[in-house]
Amino acid sequence: MAYTEFIAAIDLGTSRLVGMAGTKNTSTGILSVIACDTEDSDSGIRRGCVVNVEETAAKIKRLVRKLESKLNGARIAKIYIGIGGQSVHSIDHSVIREVAEEDIVTEDLKDLLLEECRTYRAESLDILGIVPPVYYVDGNRVQNPAGVPFRRIEAKYKLIAGRPSLRRHIKACMERTQLKLADILISPLALADVVLSEDEKSLGCALVDFGAGVTSVTIYRKGHLADLCVIPLGGHLITKDLTTLPLIESEAERLKIDYGSAVVGKDEDESVQVSAVDGIGIQSVKLSKVNHVIGSRMKEIVENVYAILEADNLIESLGAGVVITGGASNLRNLAEEMRKRLKKDIRYAALRENLMENTSLAAYSEFAAAIGLLSQGDMNCAQITEQTSERDMFGNEPVAGAEKTNEPIKVKPVKEPVKKPEQKTPKPSKIGSLFDRLGGIFDDNNL
């Protein structure tokens, strides 16, 4: 029997696209994956950014067909797309409301502050998402200000920004696939939500995702997002470094995976046999040389992670330490190298318990970002036809008289404010200048 309700999402990675369809229990939030597949990115995506629209659109379409083959005849009408490539970062933005006489904070007032935040436009940047704010009532931090008397309330938001081309190229891809775009979601935030507990976020924690094209750093302090930054260095760059030994790229990738270490060992005089560069015969390469190249590049990436944490004095706030994930995190001794540099506990990411129903979490750990996208989705992505089964995503018969729809619940319009809230100029991220200087090296022309 075909599925009539499900969420569908694709995470756009530099090395591969991960597609997933699943259902979510609306009362518990527990997920059930009903289809999962992958497609190599090839040259269509670099450093997490779409650089070839036609090629990426074809990959998305092929991946959607793979998912549909596992949906018992159901078709996908719309899909969530997850991004997290180069140029994605967080910026600070505050919205303030003051009153002449003491008033009470209401949910309507909180909505007005959010609406005001949505009107903000950053120069040369596209706002991709808004993270729930930290509220200050009369100068005091308040978790939920609704019902609290105030004379002045400030909502400090974290806006997720990136180059306008990120959204533009994704929309162009979806137009070519003839699929609707449900929404664009931020993959590093979706990943953090399924591998970090609320306790870890409250204690302070950094999630470092060592991807193929980029390394994403997502930092939480006191339960809220403190910073999101993407370093334009990843595992593919290590492979390119190894080709200078010289090695052909396929052999360089194999040596990195099978023998790679973030630390050069003292007893690595062992040699391994690889295909010769000319494709004829074999050649020997010392592991000490291989790991010297790998270790040098990983040290650079770890130093960039340290610089991000140090810029806003966030290292001391990481009571829950640092969590690492991603393909390049599988290099031997990486945790040891990071522990030595950051002076913090390091652990490998794992999906949170009670996240998925009747499924081994370990089986889906490498697809954690896609799981996170499903978790954030709230729109039915199934194509509804008259031939579609009358059962919902949980196998229940529909309620009599219920109207079938695949559109999200509409929110009532917010009342206009009596007084326009004061807008505070956003504070630029301290680490921004570091990556501005890198821009000349890793700009669009070099992608």
Token pair in block for residue 427: 């504070």
Q: What is the chain's percent helix, strand, coil content, to nearest 5?
A: 30, 30, 40
Domain range for 188 is: 1-86+164-196+352-410
Residue 115 and residue 149 in one domain: yes
Q: What is the mean pLDDT of residues 318-334?
A: 93
Considering the domain architecture, whether residues 29 and 41 belong to the same structural domain is answered as yes
Residue 318 forms part of a structural domain: no
Same domain as 113, residue 99: yes
What's the rounded Cα separation, in Å, for the pair 295 and 170?
Answer: 35
**Are the beta carbons of 41 and 14 closer than 8 angstroms?**
yes
Measured CA to CA, the distance from residue 81 to residue 59 in angstroms comes to 13
Cβ atoms of 111 and 63 closer than 8 Å: no
| DSSP, res 356 | B
Confidence of residue 113 (pLDDT cuts 50, 70, 90): very high
Average pLDDT of the chain is: 85
Tokens 């998912």 found at:
67
Give the CATH number for residue 135.
3.30.1490.110
Q: Answer yes or no: are the C-beta atoms of 120 and 426 closer than 8 Å.
A: yes
- Statement to judge: residues 80 and 189 lie in one domain: yes
| CATH number of the structural domain spanning residue 173 | 3.30.420.40
Least confident of 348-352, 398-402, 417-421: 398-402
* pLDDT (tens digit per residue) in 237-276: 999 999 999 899 999 999 999 988 998 765 567 888 888 8
pLDDT at 267: 55
| Helix, strand, or coil (residue 207) | strand
Q: What is the pTM of this model?
A: 0.82
Burial of 239-267, coded b for 16+ CB within 10 Å and e otherwise, reads: bebbbebebbeebbbbbbeebbbbbbeee
Number of DSSP helices (H) and strands (E) in the chain, helices first = 11, 19
In this structure, what is the dihedral angle of CA atoms 182, 188, 194, 200, given to the nearest 10 degrees?
Answer: -140
* Whether residue 143 is found in the same domain as residue 123: yes
Give the model's pLDDT for residue 88. Answer: 94
Task: Domain count for the chain, please give it.
Answer: 3
Residues 3 and 134 in one domain: no
Same domain, residue pair 51 and 184: yes
* Residue 268 CB burial class (10 angstroms; 0-12, 13-18, ≥19): middle
Distances (CA, A) of 362 to 7, 38, 188, 193, 350: 21, 17, 19, 17, 8
* Four-CA torsion 82, 84, 86, 91, nearest 10 degrees: 120
- The CA–CA distances, whole Å, from 238 to 176, 329, 399 equal 33, 12, 56
Query: Does 120 lie in the same domain as 73?
Result: no
294 residue type, one letter = I
In a domain, 107, yes or no: yes
The pLDDT of residue 62 is 96
Backbone angles phi, psi at 335, to 5 degrees: -60, -40
The amino acid that residue 142 corresponds to is V
pLDDT the model gives residue 402: 36
Q: Based on the domain organization, do 9 and 109 belong to the same domain? A: no
Note whether 51 and 144 are same-domain residues: no
Instruction: Give the pLDDT band of residue 386 (cuts 50, 70, 90).
Output: low
Give the per-residue pLDDT at 391. Answer: 45
DSSP letter at 332 equals B
E strand or H helix that includes residue 16? strand 16-24
183 shares its domain with 36: yes
